[in-house]
Amino acid sequence: MRLHADRESCISGGRCMATLPEVFDQDDEGIVVLLTPTPAPEHQAKARKAAYLCPARAIDITESPTPD
Amino acid sequence: MLSYPQDRTCPYQPSPGYRELGRSGPLHKVRLWDGSTIWMVTGHAAGRRLLADPRLSADRSRPDFPVVLPRFEAPIFKPIAIIGFDPPVHDVHRRMLAPDFSLKHVREMRDEVVELTGRLVDDMLRKGPPAELVEDFALPIPSMVISQLLGVPYEDHVFFEEKTVGLLQAKDAAGAEAAGQALWDYLDELISAKERTPGGGEGVLGRLAGRIDDRDLTREDLLRIALALLIGGHDTTSQMIALGVVTLLEHPDQLAAWRAAPPEALPAAVDELLRMVSVTDVSGVRVATEDIEIDGEVVRAGEGVLVSSSMTNRDPEVYEDPYTFDIHRAAGRGGAASGRQHLTFGFGIHQCLGQNLARMELEVAFSTLFDRIPGLRLATPAGELPARSGGTMQGVHRLPVEW
Ligand code: HEM
Ligand code: SF4
């Protein structure tokens, strides 16, 4: 799984950080900061959930054909 | 055709008319007070899609923007800040406020909110039962928090609380305009004082007063932002505290589960309460700028769309037993479809700016209240509480309690 977070479209609601703080953070301006583009296997379900919850559709997930 | 809005018959469940409507699909035409029609969305997936669709506009100044209630005809509502603007202006103003409302900043504010909430309960206990929970508890928490955050003197709270209710509950446009104008004049003077203070003075309004540049932020923009934040910051949250207390007291098993829950389970429990109560009843109102095909229907350019939070939050496609209040919903039933994907704070770029602040205040309020006053009970049966009617924003005028 590969993650991308678009800081341009982020509206800083913090849903991602509330869901998976190990992967999503916010900078001083409240804008999303991706801590790693390749979440550990145990974090992937929550990463999908964060992408679903993101109101601005700012989180993009590319699923790898083979599990990583 | 169903006329909109319809009053609730239970403080925490959608009106029977909407429930009936929801059974016949995700989108419905309903009739407004002025005879016009609007699409009411009751399906969760459709609501999410529409609220995230850039072909829908939130611009209140458009002549085709739906006027859901007579009071929204008041000129003061037409260019309401942030919530009533499309990009790019929306995004510029929202970004200016993002740091103050971010999850991190809200977490820093928590200790102070715990302290102030504790003081309110001390006062209630000192005076002894009965108490009126709106005035003694539910209103002062968000009101103090937002005035401090914005840099509005809390000494003026009776004035701005009254005018806010006057604006949001007005029967007609003239009433809303009068109350709105009083708030406007008050904030105008306050911002002038901040402009005279070197460095801008206290709070978010002080910080922004120092940033007026006549391009990204005019003085009028700031006044509109101040108005939106002052109004948005206390009425919704106070009524959510009040109706949340009613919901918990009416479900003793869930209240017991709340008390037994570890602190890390409380945020999800707060979200389940937000889902149930859906205090604004509406996730967002928009107008289509192009024809939009959705679920076999076509929303035509110029038609209004209203996404119902109380109904999308009970979509059986998403929630098992949607009318059941279950604070452990997130952990068990529904899996990924936990209570947290409710649309109580809206969706898309306008999703509530104050949501993290509201969640924190709610968690502290319910925990402190039921911790300190374990014998709390309603002094008036839930069905007989003096409830707000004829609008979208739910609430009670008074909430008598005893212990
Ligand atoms: C339980 C409490 C609250 C509820 C249920 C609530 C609900 C909502 C909803 C549904 C929206 C979206 C409206 C739309 O899309 O048209 C919204 C937006 C907004 N809310 Fe809240 N709100 C609450 C508390 C607050 C607080 C505490 C503030 C603090 C100032 C606030 C400020 C705002 C602002 C500024 C917007 C506009 C955001 C934008 O357009 O980008 N709200 N709220
Ligand atoms: S959930 Fe989306 S909009 Fe919200 S902070 Fe994260 S990336 Fe930004």
Examine residue B5 and say whether the peptide bond preceding it is cis (omega within 30 degrees of 0): yes
How remote is the C-alpha of B321 from its chain's centroid?
A: 24
Any ligand 1 atom below 6 A from CB of B357: yes
Among A8, A11, A53, which would you mutate to test the B interface (most chain B Cβ atoms within 10 Å of its Cβ)?
A: A11
Number of domains in chain A: 1
Which residue among B187, B275, B353 is best mutated to probe the pocket of ligand 1, counting the most ligand atoms within 8 A of its Cβ?
A: B353
CA distance B204 to B226: 9
Which two structure tokens, joined as six digits, stand for B383? 């069905």
Residues of the domain holding A6: 2-62
Q: Where are the domains of chain B?
A: 16-402
CB < 8 Å to B353, chain A: 13
pLDDT in tens, chain B (403 residues): 999 999 999 999 999 999 999 999 999 999 999 999 999 999 999 999 999 999 999 999 999 999 998 788 777 777 889 999 999 999 999 999 999 999 999 999 999 999 999 999 999 999 999 999 999 999 999 999 999 999 999 999 999 999 988 888 888 888 888 999 999 999 999 999 999 888 778 899 999 998 898 889 999 999 999 999 998 888 999 999 999 999 999 999 999 999 999 999 999 999 999 999 999 999 999 999 999 999 999 999 999 999 999 999 999 999 999 999 999 886 444 444 456 799 999 999 999 999 999 999 999 999 999 999 999 999 999 999 999 887 788 999 999 999 9
Residue pLDDT, tens place only, B346-392: 999 999 999 999 999 999 999 999 999 999 999 999 999 999 887 78
Structure pTM? 0.95
Q: Kindly report the CATH number assigned to the domain that includes residue A6.
A: 3.30.70.20
Distance A63 CA to ligand 1 centre (A): 33
**SS3 for B138?**
helix
Class for domain B16-402, per CATH?
A: mainly alpha
β-sheet bridge partners, residue B396: B387
E strand map for B331-397 = 377-378
Q: Is B240 in contact with B271 (CB distance < 8 Å)?
A: no
Q: Is residue A47 part of a domain?
A: yes
Which two structure tokens, joined as six digits, stand for B116? 């102030």
Checking ipTM against 0.85, whether it exceeds it is yes
CA distance B206 to B126: 36
Examine residue B153 and say whether the peptide bond preceding it is cis (omega within 30 degrees of 0): no
* Neighbour count for residue B213 (Cβ, 10 Å): 8
Specify the residue for token string 């899996």.
Answer: B335
CA distance B186 to B32: 33
Q: Residue B138 contacts by C-beta under 8 Å, 6 or more apart in sequence? A: B238, B239, B241, B242, B245, B365, B399
CA distance B217 to B89: 9
